[in-house]
Every structure is written in C-alpha cells, then in structure tokens.
Structure 1
Amino acid sequence: MNQKAIENTRNVAIVGPYSSGKTTLLESLLFVTGAITRKGKVTEGNTVSDSSAESRDRQMSVEVSAANTTYQDINLTFLDCPGSIEFAQETYNALVGAGAAIIVCEPVVDRVLTLAPLFKFLDDWEIPHLVFINKMDRAANNFMEVLHALKQVSSRPLLPQQYPIRQAHDLIGYIDLISEQAYHYHPGSPADPVALPDDLKEEEHQARQEMLETLADFDDHLLEELLEDIDPPQDEILQDLKKELSADQIVPVFLGMADQDYGVRPLLEALIKEAPSPKETATRRGLEPQDNGDTILQVLKTYFTPQGGRLSLVRVWQGKLTDGMILNGVRAGGIYSLMGQQQQAINEASVGDIVAIGRLEGIQTGDTLTNTNKDIKPLPKADTLKPVYALAITPENRKDEVKLSSALSKLLEEDPSLYWEQHGDTREVILWGQGEIHLQVALDRLRRKYNLPMTTHLPQIPYKETIRSSTKVHGRYKHQTGGHGAFGDVYLDIKPLNRGEGFQFHETIVGGVVPKQYIPGVETGVREYLSHGPLGFPVVDVNVTLTDGSYHSVDSSEQAFKQAARLAMTEGMPQCSPVLLEPILSITVSAPSEFTSKALQLITGRRGQILGYEGISGWKGWDQVTAYLPQAEMQNFIIELRSLTMGVGFFNWEFDHLQEVPDKLTESVLANHNGNGNGKN
C-alpha cells in the first residue's frame, strides 16, 4: 500500500451507553455507504453486528463486532462496541486500536453521567473522539442543556459543529456551523439546503462564535482574525478542526436520528475530513507507519468461531501483513476482512487496517505481534478489569468435568475480564466476572460452543475458625490385631496465636519419650485435624506443642502417632472456645460525588467499616471511598452500587484480614452449614 492509500483509511470505534443506538448507527452508516442494501433492526436480530446468539437473545452488544465499508474512496472500518458496563473490557481493548471514536448518546441530561468512564478512558489514552447525539426526536432536554451536561464529563472542550432546527417537537434539520448553511432532512436521501431560519440566526451566530473561540484557543492566527472581526474562511476552520481533533484537543459534537439516517452523512463527512489518518495515529504511538518496514500488529479481540476456529482481530500499526507470515513464531493461517460474522479472505493488509487472522494459537488479546526477531517494545494495552461478581459452577453431567478447564481457558481468551479458580478451601469451581449478565453470557457460551451446560449457585464463603483459650490434652491410640499392634501416646499444649500468625507446631520432648522419627507423624495428625475444626471449618492462628508421650518398641509407628495426635486435637479443641472467622475485604468504591452518601450507606448497611473518602485525582466530580467489607456481603454489592449510581459506580477489592463473625450471625452460618452439610453460605 502506498502512502496515499494509507491516508485513505479510517478505523473508528462506535461507543456509548447501553440503548443509545450504537448498533442502529452502524446499520445506518453501512446503508448510506452502500455496504448493505437493507438495514437490520436490533429487535429483529438481523443487524450486521450483534450477530452472536448471546447478543440477539438479549438485544444488546456483548462483544466487539467489526464491519468494513467505503465512502468517497475512503476505506472505513467500524468497531461496534458493547455499551453495558459489564462488557467494558471489550470496549477498552478495541479502543486501543482505533484511530478515532464516536460516542453515541441520547439527548437526556440525566443520562449524560453514564458517559463519564468513556470520556475518561478516551482522554487518558488521547484517542480522538466525536459525540453523536442520537434520538433527537425523543429529546427530553434542549440541545444546549445536553451540551452543557456533556461538558461536565469531558476534560476536553466540546465543540458543536451543528445546531438543530425544530418544528414544534420534531427535529426537521440542522445548521452547519462551519458553512452557516441550513438543511432539512428527508427520509432516504441527503438533507436539502434551505434558507437559514430567521428565528435561529441569533442562536446560530452565538453557537458559531463559541465554536470559533474554542478553536482559537489552539490557533493564534484564528484568534487574531476573531479579534479583528474577520470571518475566517471555511477551509481554515476545517484545517483547524482536523488538526485539533487529531491531537485530541477538542471534541466535535453532531446530532441526528440514526434510525432515519438523519445526521449520518454529515458524520461521515467529518470522519473523512477531520478524523486522523492511520499515519497520524501511529506516529502519535511512536511508530513508523510505513508499509516497507517491520510488521507490527496488536490483537484487539480473540474469537472462537464454530466454523473457523480461532480468529484474532488485529490492528496493523506498521509494515504489511501477508498470509502465512510468521508472527511471534506462529504462522498466520489466513487473513480476513470482517462484516459482522461474515469473513472475506484477503491476501494482505496494510497500515491502519483492522482484520482478522486465523489460527494464532497461544496469542492473547492485547499482545503485540511482529515478524522480526528484533526486540520490539510491546504496545500499551488496556488494563484488565478486576472481577466483582462470582458464581460457583458445576457441569450438569459429571462426566464433563474433565472438559471444563479447557473450555474455561478458551472462554477467558475471548474475554479477559473473566477469571476462574478452584477454591483451595471450598473446592468449588468459581467463575468471576463483571456482573450477573456478564456471567450469564459466559455460561451461555459454555453451553452453546462447548456443549457444557452448567448448574450454578452462590459461592461458599471461605470461613475459618480459631480459638480464644488454651488447654492441655492427652491422646492415646492403641489398636491390637493378630501380629503387630499400633500404639501412639501424646500430650499436647494447644494455645491461640495472634490473628494472621497461622499455624505453629513445636515439640519439647526430653529423654526420647517420643522418638524423633515419630514426631513428624504428630504434626501431620494435628494439621489434618485443623483442616476441619470443631465448628466445621479450617482452623487458623493456633500453636500446638508436643510436650510428652510414650511409645512401644514394637507396636509404635509414625501412623500410630498421627492417629494419637488427631484424637488429642478432637478432644482438646472444643475446650478452647472456638470462634468463627470471616474474610474481610479492603474495598475502594468510586462514584460521582452526588452519589457518595448513597455509597456510604450501602457499605455501612452491609456491615462495612468506612475508612475515609476523598476526591479522585483526574476524575472531575468523583469521590473514592475506602472501607472494609465482609466477603459474605460482597455477592450483590456491584449490582446495588450500579443501581444507586446510574450504572457508573465501580469498586476494587482485595482480601485484607480475618475477623470474628458476630455471635448472632455465627448461629445462622453454623445452622446453615450443619443443615446442608456443604457450607453454601
């Protein structure tokens, strides 16, 4: 591909909250550019993206979907990204490879806050982005009110390039603030130029002046023109828009109704004229965007398809990708241009292209790929989100247990924000994710792709127990059969330790009353008992000392002393005031300041202990609350937090310490544990 062809490529991520109309906008973009002849509808399950069964079941995007088209000799690749916060990892991974992003939102002031995490990610990564205010026919607020609200969640200045024309409550057209030309919409065709409405001239002039003054903050020449009351030429304004957008210094704002194709053509024009080329994007990432250098790619998404197996969606940052090329020691098994789930084989891809590569075994989402043996610095990738919601899973068919780990590994390759573990204490297989819907989608995939239907329940809480008092105890094991018998005799001191000190074993044997070769058996017997203490849970923070004992020269053995130790522990531990312990998590809750009081109430209402809160650096109008929270109270915490914060609140957690369970709750836990015999609390 020559340099001119590189300039004629754009790749754009379409992002925004759930139900804002991203998939509908993509359908309109593909229809207007002639890539499809009939638009699909989300409600009918026939759109280009959202083509997976899991997406169609829920009528929402659950994974990134790519689609290609051409408009005015410009090759466009769109990445339709999920809007639900539970699938944010998909969106962030895709955005890393995008040259620009369109934020789709609704004209509702109260919902603008849901855009804050997206704006923050785009601003932090310096990814040029535009805003498309969709569904303008359903506007709950006027355009300027929505614009003002948007400005509160963006660290970059917002710059409207259009002003709406309304007739009563209907959107009938717009004014282009660059050319000051008014247009009326028409179904199925481009908007027609019309005279600028007299009643909007003052509002249009004010909006245009604000746009020019914002641009002038980055251009001294434009500032001089405005100070001298010179109307800048349109070409100069467009040049400034392209320069500032490419540098991620401004955020242009457009409006329309994607389901009617209204406003879609001006948005396309902006992408072609103002959005950065692959050369500009790659240069900003410190790469050389030439097609004759070393090939450098980055994996944005991994798919496991029923027909083609493993597919890696990649962005070409540098050089040229050819079929059969060796990348990180793995041969590329086919290159494909994607249109949703449809694949078209191609021979090569160049800088700026986003394509799929087959059979890149062992290559993970986010990996940097190259065809050279040189030491290539890995490209930055999106952080992996910490899991916040869990279910214990069991195959419906016990015979499928051997297939589960392999299927889960593939599931995690497709979606890095999932995590699974076999818990060391409870022995449950636990699947972690970003929320209830996220895990249900994962379980659907296990069933559909790998024929592994699951039963689920809430994970057991890994309670522990310890003791409050000391005791001395004697244990004797004596067993006689024909031939040699078995004999072990021990005296143990059992004492509590400070929290977090674990288990300690000592011996103060004098005179060989317990021979040294049998002492390890005593410790083994003690440890085995402590795996299931008097309350039924693993015991921690206990010191056991072997002080005395006796043996038989013929019948004693290490095994006999192990049994003697278990007998001693079984008798002694209930005398030591056993107490139940629960895991306490250290959590950090982040939410807009207006919801801080609700977050505090949520924590304290779940037996949490507030440690403090403060504003978050770099997050305008957000607070961060630190607290301790019992793990038993965590299960639905994220669901309630999102409900209280319009879906944008989030938290991070890690295990901190064990703490005594309140007496009243202890009764409930023990009753449930002893009642069902499996501790599913």
Structure 2
Amino acid sequence: MTDIVDELRNIVLVAHQGAGKTSLAEIMLFKAGVSKRIGRVEDGNTLMDFEPEEIKRNSSISSAFHQFDWNKHTITFIDTPGDQNFFTDTRICMQAADSALVVIDAVDGVKVQTEQAWEFAKEFNMPCLIFINKLDRERADFSRTLDDATQCFKPKPIITQLPIGSEEDFKGVVDLVSLKAYTYDANGKSAKIDIPADMQDLVANEREAFIENVAEADDELIERYLEGETLTDDELVAALKKGTLNREFVPVLCGSATKNVGIDLLMNFITDCMPSSIDRGKKIGVDPDKENEIERNPDADAPFSAFVFKTVADPYAGRLSIFRVVSGTLGADGTFYNVNKETKERFNQLLTVEGQEQKAATGAGPGAIAA
C-alpha cells in the first residue's frame, strides 16, 4: 500500500484569470488518454468548466477535479478559479493538495491573483512549480516573465527549461536536467533534436546556474560540485525534488497549453519531482474526545482520518461532500466518525469526482480525494 500512496500526486492549478489553467488541464487529460478531443474554453466544451455560468463567462467560478494515469502514477488535479470573486474557493481547495502548479501568462506576467495564490501556498507551506504558458502568443516574453516572478516571489524561481523560439516561432523547449532539446509539430508530437547552435552558450550558462541552485539543497552535493565533480542526472533530479519539497526554490518550466508544446515534459516533471502524501509527511489534527492535538501519518494501516473541504450540489447525485484522506483506508461501505455531528456514520457510496461526473470507487487510502 505504501507503494500505491507514493505513486499518487495531488496538485492544484492556480493562477490569475486568463492565464490558461483550464486549457492546461484539458491538454493534460487529452495526452493521458482521458478525453478523445481537446476541450476549448472559448468553445464551452471543456471537461473542467461545465457549469452554465462558467461556459457563459469562459472562465472558472468553482474548483473542479479530475485524475489521470501517467508514468505509472496517478495524478489528481484541482482546477481552481482565478477570478478574485471566487478566490475563497481556491484557498479552501489548495489545502487538499500536496503541491501547487502556478500558471503564469507569458504575455501579461504575474498579476494580482497569482500573488494571492502564492501567499496561500506560503501559508500552507506548499511546494510549488511554475509553468510559464502562452509562449506562442504575440508579445510573449520568457525572460521578462521570469524576472517578474523572481521579483515577486520567494522562495526563488529557478530555470529548469528554456524555450526554443518565441511568439509565433516558439516551437519547443530545452530541458536543463537532461540537456536535451525537443520540438513539437502541429499535433503536439515531440521530436528530440540537437540544442540549436544559437542557444548553446545560453544553455551552458543556465545549466551551470541550475546545477548550482539545485546542489544547494544537498550539503554533500554542493561540496562535490564546488570541488569540480560532475553530478549525475539522477543526483540532480533527487536534489531538485528535495529542494522543491523543502521550498528552497521553485522550478520553472515553460510551454504552450493550446499548442501542446512542453506538456508531456510538464507531466513527467510532476511524477518525477513533485511530492506525494508520503513526502509531505504527517498532518496534525484534534482528538474529538480529548481535544488534544494528534498526529496522523499517511499510513494505510493507521486509523482512518480525513477532512471535508468542499460541498457541491449535483443535479443527479445530490449533495456531495468532497474530502481528502489523511490516514487509514475507507471501503465503499465503510464507517467513520463524524466529528461535527459526534456520531458514527456509514457511506452509502464512495465516489471519485471527474469533472461533472462521479464514478464508483472501491476504496480510498492516504492522499485520495473522494466524495
């Protein structure tokens, strides 16, 4: 069961309205094979924005949930509103995730709700990942957007990828971990290429800066680096994951959701470097009988504990309470103690929430988000 928990990734998508969170969610679902077509916000046919008011506004007004399998992991993501009028929902739902994917528009840069989401992540001590989106758009500028983020955010953002081309000539990314370059065709299919000649000096400089930043997360690595040793890719990935988990820095990736550029690398990064519930460790709650603080580790064999963070009204299923499992395992017909009502209750049906649909689940262990 520990292996199963370690293969779960709960990540919340946050940004200012219009940065492309929902478009990013849609393309990830498409690449993972969950959907057969790419939903478009402007067409009102996305899996994540399904409420009539969301379709009318072309923007999210309530958090939505979905999950997919990728690289032998299960990723559950929460697509949250970027509109300030609905940002309370964003804060509430962030508490159920283990990390945050902060989407920044490469044209508009960091905006008010981006900063607010960052403050929420700081409040919850949440590891973050930045994705600079819309690099194919007119006036998109990776360097300017990165400078904007560096000035606004702590811990420091560190470049993990570089874009190949800009605006209408944007066609791929260079991964500084593996030192590999990828371009994408009109269908989002990637091809490995040599690092472009006009980028080699930039890549070499940024690779050195990346290694130095990442090595600082591990005392042994930084010592070896300063002594001139070459660090392996596996060592860099481990240090990158450690530093991200401890909020020593924030990795910066880049691409375009609508053009399907860099999305596969982003999904790989989430499974390889973003934390599981086990990585995040224990949570502290209150014993309902003794009213003293108790700790719960993400252990499937521990007593069951969970917290409800959102309630929705479904026209078919009725009132649904969406919860995050902290410890233990709940079966489809399991019982639990309702702290608010001070009574034991039994589940009629255990569900996973996928967009506007719900699917029956046989059980839910640590890290699971269910209803």
Question: What does 1:124-203 correspond to in 2, within 5 Å?
Answer: 124-138=123-137, 140-166=139-165, 169-203=168-202
SS at match of 1:259: coil
The residue aligned with 2:296 is: 287
SS at match of 1:152: helix
Distance in 1 of aligned mates of 2:217 and 2:138: 32
The residue aligned with 2:22 is: 23
The residue aligned with 2:81 is: 82
Amino acid at match of 1:302: T
Does 2:248 align with 1:238?
no
Distance in 2 of aligned mates of 1:111 and 1:240: 27
Does 2:329 align with 1:320?
yes
Amino acid at match of 2:4: A
Distance in 1 of aligned mates of 2:32 and 2:148: 32
SS at match of 1:344: strand
Does 2:270 align with 1:261?
no
Distance in 2 of aligned mates of 1:187 and 1:232: 36
8 Å contact from structure 1 (residues 120, 154) kept in 2: no
Distance in 2 of aligned mates of 1:109 and 1:341: 31
Shift of residue 295, structure 1, vs aligned partner: 0.8
Distance in 2 of aligned mates of 1:346 and 1:174: 38
Shift of residue 86, structure 1, vs aligned partner: 1.1
Does 2:216 align with 1:206?
no
Shift of residue 70, structure 1, vs aligned partner: 0.7
SS at match of 2:312: strand
Does 2:339 align with 1:340?
no
Distance in 2 of aligned mates of 1:26 and 1:237: 28
Distance in 2 of aligned mates of 1:322 and 1:264: 35
Please list the CA deviations of residues 626-651 of structure 1 after superposition, one character each: whole Å capped at 9, or x if unmatched: xxxxxxxxxxxxxxxxxxxxxxxxxx
8 Å contact from structure 1 (residues 105, 131) kept in 2: yes
Shift of residue 159, structure 1, vs aligned partner: 1.3
Question: What does 1:558-637 correspond to in 2, within 5 Å?
Answer: none
RMSD: 1.7
Distance in 2 of aligned mates of 1:171 and 1:144: 14
Shift of residue 58, structure 1, vs aligned partner: 1.2
Amino acid at match of 1:323: A
The residue aligned with 1:222 is: 221
Distance in 1 of aligned mates of 2:247 and 2:90: 19
* Cα distance change, pair 229–144 in 1 and its aligned pair in 2 (3 A): farther
Please list the CA deviations of residues 25-76 of structure 1 after superposition, one character each: whole Å capped at 9, or x if unmatched: 0110101011111111112221111111221121110111000111122111
Runs of at least 5 residues in structure 2 that lack an aligned partner in the other structure: 285-294
Shift of residue 139, structure 1, vs aligned partner: 5.4
Runs of at least 5 residues in structure 1 that lack an aligned partner in the other structure: 357-681
* Cα distance change, pair 168–327 in 1 and its aligned pair in 2 (3 A): closer
Amino acid at match of 2:326: W
Amino acid at match of 2:76: T
Please list the CA deviations of residues 364-407 of structure 1 after superposition, one character each: whole Å capped at 9, or x if unmatched: xxxxxxxxxxxxxxxxxxxxxxxxxxxxxxxxxxxxxxxxxxxx
Amino acid at match of 2:180: Q
SS at match of 2:170: strand
Distance in 1 of aligned mates of 2:8 and 2:323: 15
SS at match of 2:274: coil
Shift of residue 109, structure 1, vs aligned partner: 5.5
Distance in 1 of aligned mates of 2:369 and 2:132: 26
8 Å contact from structure 1 (residues 123, 156) kept in 2: no
Question: What does 1:271-286 correspond to in 2, within 5 Å?
Answer: 271-283=270-282, 286=295
Shift of residue 301, structure 1, vs aligned partner: 0.9
SS at match of 1:136: coil
Please list the CA deviations of residues 310-365 of structure 1 after superposition, one character each: whole Å capped at 9, or x if unmatched: 10111111001223323312332311111111111112111111111xxxxxxxxx
8 Å contact from structure 2 (residues 171, 261) kept in 1: no
8 Å contact from structure 1 (residues 113, 153) kept in 2: no
Question: What does 1:623-662 correspond to in 2, within 5 Å?
Answer: none
Larger radius of gyration: 1
* Cα distance change, pair 91–208 in 1 and its aligned pair in 2 (3 A): same
SS at match of 2:230: coil
The residue aligned with 1:644 is: none
8 Å contact from structure 1 (residues 15, 80) kept in 2: yes
Does 2:322 align with 1:307?
no
Shift of residue 110, structure 1, vs aligned partner: 5.2
SS at match of 2:136: helix
Distance in 2 of aligned mates of 1:327 and 1:51: 33
Amino acid at match of 1:300: F
The residue aligned with 2:45 is: 46
Amino acid at match of 1:335: L
* Cα distance change, pair 176–125 in 1 and its aligned pair in 2 (3 A): same
8 Å contact from structure 2 (residues 183, 192) kept in 1: yes
SS at match of 1:83: coil
SS at match of 2:306: strand
- TM-score, normalized by length of structure 2? 0.91
* Cα distance change, pair 342–41 in 1 and its aligned pair in 2 (3 A): same
Amino acid at match of 2:337: L
Shift of residue 248, structure 1, vs aligned partner: 2.3
8 Å contact from structure 1 (residues 64, 90) kept in 2: yes
8 Å contact from structure 2 (residues 163, 174) kept in 1: yes
Distance in 2 of aligned mates of 1:48 and 1:115: 23
The residue aligned with 1:97 is: 96
Q: Which runs of 4+ in 1 moved over 6 A?
A: none
8 Å contact from structure 2 (residues 129, 252) kept in 1: yes
Q: Which has the higher contact order (CA 8 A, sep 6+)?
A: 2
Shift of residue 119, structure 1, vs aligned partner: 1.2
Distance in 1 of aligned mates of 2:138 and 2:204: 23
Amino acid at match of 2:366: V
* Cα distance change, pair 37–183 in 1 and its aligned pair in 2 (3 A): same
Amino acid at match of 2:212: E
* Cα distance change, pair 110–167 in 1 and its aligned pair in 2 (3 A): closer
Distance in 2 of aligned mates of 1:68 and 1:49: 11
The residue aligned with 1:37 is: 36
Distance in 2 of aligned mates of 1:147 and 1:213: 18
The residue aligned with 1:249 is: 248
